[in-house]
Amino acid sequence: MKTCTYTRSILAKHIDEGGHANWRAQLEIAEECHFRLREELGLEIERLSCQSKLFLVMREVYDVKYSGQLRLGDEIKISISVSVEKKSGLTFSCEFKKDDKPVTQIKWFMAVLDQTKNRAVRVPQWMSEKVAKA
């Protein structure tokens, strides 16, 4: 399993009319971290598509928990991890913490899709090894 930690500030673009970072803004931040982690692992969309003829396709978002408000200027620590699950994809877990207390937790599952066969396939050995050794 690979885990990365990032520190972010809540910016004006993340704030809604109620003065806090709503769920869509938090999902946007999680998505940015998701792509950053994939880049660190060498699993970027372009590389997978061109070199391996594979895609990671969103299958399920689950376990979304909000337990606190995020406001303009809040410093948050974001931990995101990835692991091989169900032999057919990767599970990503993202946690936002403010003052070392969890505020948001999100998990999602992405299936591996073979472009040439246009169907889901097992996680290739090389991908499992990248995730395990990282």
pLDDT tens string, the chain, 134 residues long: the values are 778 888 888 887 888 888 888 888 888 889 999 999 999 888 988 888 888 899 899 989 888 898 888 888 889 999 999 999 878 899 999 999 999 999 999 999 999 999 999 999 999 999 999 898 76
In the chain, the largest separation of any two C-alpha atoms, in whole Å, equals: 47
Tokens of 45: 């969309």
Dihedrals φ, ψ of 123, to 5°?
Answer: -65, 125
List the chain domain ranges.
2-133
pTM for the complete prediction?
0.87
**Domain 2-133: CATH class, spelled out:** alpha beta
